[in-house]
Structure 1
Amino acid sequence: MSLRLSTVILPVDRWHEGGRATWQRAEELGFHAAYTYDHLSWRSFRDRPWFGALPTLTAAATATDRLRLGTLVTSPNFRHPVTLAKELISLDDVSGGRVTLGIGAGGDGFDATTLGQERWTPKERADRFAEFVPLLDRLLTEEVVTESGTFYSADEARNIPGCVQRPRLPFAVAATGPRGMRLAARHGQAWVTTGDPKLFENGTAEQSAEALRGQIERLGKACADIGRDVDELDKILLTGFTPEKNTVLDSLERFVDFAGTHRDLGFTEIVIHWPIQDSVFAADRAVFETIATEALGRLG
């Protein structure tokens, strides 16, 4: 099974002070895609520079030619399907059809309360996600949409001319639980995971691989339940959150071993964080670039 290698570039640099150059370098290195987090702030970066995801991706679209672009991931925490659809259609147009929307239920971090709302329970997040994704799907595929939901509604929302990619830009649905897996099976062109969070601190690489194997099996069942072939979905692993953390970027050999293990599990795309010094994503830039240009060739 072939494997693609992508990167995620956090929106921490001013565009004219390194931001543009980073996205252009990602294309030069041959990455399949470059994603960014769609947060208003994130964990240890809360009191550091942080720019908006969709404007950053729009700028990246004008600075690159071939690189696919996307979010990992957008969530309902501060988004609404109607306004998000309009922005995505615009971004897909500017990029010439190179956008993938990574989308998930969201977490309970800073974004969860920054608009002044009460923190949603896991069930409330799942309920909202289950309504958000189907409505967004309609908004991106139909010219006029009216729908009245419990959480999200649209009243004659118009999205003409629609996406460059038809019938719409692809969804990469982040999910580990049964409800999210069903959404990925029904609406996704790809599925995203970061692994099992319970194993992050004290788990082993072997336990993580087994947990990921189980997630892929559950995705397969969700697809089978609706008569869909699970092989139709790309399977994306965002690294940095398994027990190996960011050490997979310590050397080319270590990354090749990691990538081979996860390719054999069934993953079709691995995403590595662009190095940011003095952060949890610190890594040797030279080693990172060697991985970008040589790792897939070492897999055979």
Structure 2
Amino acid sequence: MRLSTVILPVRRWNKGGCDEWLRAERLGFHTAYTYDHLSWKTFRDGPWFGAVPTLTAAAAATERIRLGTLVTSPNFRHPVTLAKELITLDDVSGGRITLGIGAGGNGFDATTLLKAGEEAWTPRERADRFAEFVPLLDRLLTEDAVTHDGTFYAANGARTIPGCVQRPRLPFAIAATGPRGMKLAAHHGQAWVTTGDPKLWETGTPDQSLEALRGQMEKLGDACEAVGRDVDELDKILLTGFTPDRPLASFDAFVDFAGKHFALGFTEIVIHTPIPDSLFAADNEVFERIASEGLAQLSGQPDTH
């Protein structure tokens, strides 16, 4: 059972940005993640910094906490250059990096690099690209030299020496809800990530959300069984903030939420570090109490975050 946080890259490093990562470590979170986007929804017209430089700075500033993306996608990444950055980041951090990775959506950075008149990728094309992206990135992080001539990506003798500090490579936390993504998680993931069923976010109920998540868990189990893998080998990560629940509304609300979702089989819950006047606004005192005491309050469960 673990508790982690997401720190959105919206503050200048020397004007409070660094302090957020230091606080996450001080509070004892297992991992501090950040989004890997060019911009994101309501933050589009405000400050938004790059994920990899931010994580590099965080790696230099912290000592123990794990760090990662939640999530990176092919929307504006190429496996070869991403692999080089990840190997460097894993080295700077001393082996504390987790790559959260997903197929990407249709948000702002899905179209930022398109030429005028060029159509955005369809969900099927995003899935097709992801199906090639993940295995190629796996090879790039585990082999010294890789040549690949695929439908979407090429690598011509790409060198990735010396590889990751973590062996055989840094862990992948693969975000997926559909069958193709679940298959990738079963094949290549050390963890699986979900945000729940997006159709329930605004109009569903917490009970409906739990049932949807239970169904996703069953699909993950089926995908693992199909490739001969024990589903218990994968961590199950829930990124909160996108279900009908409001776990940061109060300390008791979090304890109730966490208890139900850990019972469902999740091994890690991720909460957003509060940002005033935004979707992720929350009481900082409640947030810090959750970080410090939340897991210990779950009956019969040790505080291992």
TM-score by length of 2: 0.96
Correspondences of 1:1-300 after superposition (within 5 Å): 3-117=1-115, 118-244=119-245, 247-299=246-298, 300=300
Q: Using the alignment, how far apart are the partners of 1:50 and 1:67 within structure 2?
A: 23
Q: Using the alignment, how far apart are the partners of 1:153 and 1:198 within structure 2?
A: 36
User: Once the 2 structures are TM-superposed, how far is the Cα of residue 248 of structure 1 from its aligned partner?
Assistant: 1.1
Checking the alignment, whether the CA contact within 8 Å between 2:225 and 2:231 is kept in structure 1 is yes
Checking the alignment, whether the CA contact within 8 Å between 2:68 and 2:97 is kept in structure 1 is yes
**Structure 1, unaligned stretches of length 5 or more?**
none
User: Once the 2 structures are TM-superposed, how far is the Cα of residue 201 of structure 1 from its aligned partner?
Assistant: 1.2
TM-score by length of 1: 0.98
Q: Using the alignment, how far apart are the partners of 2:23 and 2:123 within structure 1?
A: 38
In the alignment, residue 292 of structure 2 is paired with which amino acid? T
Q: Using the alignment, how far apart are the partners of 1:250 and 1:184 within structure 2?
A: 32
Q: Using the alignment, how far apart are the partners of 1:52 and 1:230 within structure 2?
A: 33
Q: Using the alignment, how far apart are the partners of 2:201 and 2:291 within structure 1?
A: 24
Give the aligned length: 296
Q: Using the alignment, how far apart are the partners of 2:267 and 2:291 within structure 1?
A: 16
Per the alignment, in what secondary structure is the counterpart of residue 242 of structure 2? coil
> Which deviations, in whole Å up to 9, do the C-alpha atoms of 1:171-192 show, x marking residues without a partner?
0000000000000000000000
State the percentage of identical aligned residues: 78
In the alignment, residue 258 of structure 2 is paired with which amino acid? A
Per the alignment, in what secondary structure is the counterpart of residue 247 of structure 2? helix
> Which deviations, in whole Å up to 9, do the C-alpha atoms of 1:107-128 show, x marking residues without a partner?
0000111012531100000000
Per the alignment, in what secondary structure is the counterpart of residue 7 of structure 1? strand
Checking the alignment, whether the CA contact within 8 Å between 2:56 and 2:92 is kept in structure 1 is yes
In the alignment, residue 106 of structure 1 is paired with which amino acid? G
In the alignment, residue 293 of structure 1 is paired with which amino acid? S
In the alignment, residue 163 of structure 1 is paired with which amino acid? C
Q: Using the alignment, how far apart are the partners of 2:181 and 2:189 within structure 1?
A: 10
Q: Using the alignment, how far apart are the partners of 1:207 and 1:250 within structure 2?
A: 19
User: Once the 2 structures are TM-superposed, how far is the Cα of residue 58 of structure 1 from its aligned partner?
Assistant: 0.2
Q: Using the alignment, how far apart are the partners of 1:28 and 1:148 within structure 2?
A: 46
In the alignment, residue 280 of structure 2 is paired with which amino acid? F
Checking the alignment, whether the CA contact within 8 Å between 2:114 and 2:120 is kept in structure 1 is no
Q: Using the alignment, how far apart are the partners of 1:215 and 1:153 within structure 2?
A: 33
Q: Using the alignment, how far apart are the partners of 1:199 and 1:254 within structure 2?
A: 19
In the alignment, residue 267 of structure 1 is paired with which amino acid? F
> Which deviations, in whole Å up to 9, do the C-alpha atoms of 1:141-170 show, x marking residues without a partner?
000000100001100000000000000000
> Which deviations, in whole Å up to 9, do the C-alpha atoms of 1:195-247 show, x marking residues without a partner?
00111111010000000000011000100001100000000000000011xx2
RMSD: 0.5
Q: Using the alignment, how far apart are the partners of 1:119 and 1:56 within structure 2?
A: 28
Per the alignment, in what secondary structure is the counterpart of residue 10 of structure 1? coil
Structure 1 window deviating more from structure 2 (169-178 vs 112-121): it is 112-121
User: Once the 2 structures are TM-superposed, how far is the Cα of residue 129 of structure 1 from its aligned partner?
Assistant: 0.2
Structure 1 window deviating more from structure 2 (85-94 vs 247-256): it is 247-256
Q: Using the alignment, how far apart are the partners of 1:174 and 1:261 within structure 2?
A: 21
**Structure 2, unaligned stretches of length 5 or more?**
301-305
In the alignment, residue 254 of structure 1 is paired with which amino acid? A
In the alignment, residue 101 of structure 2 is paired with which amino acid? I
Per the alignment, in what secondary structure is the counterpart of residue 278 of structure 2? coil
Per the alignment, in what secondary structure is the counterpart of residue 202 of structure 2? coil
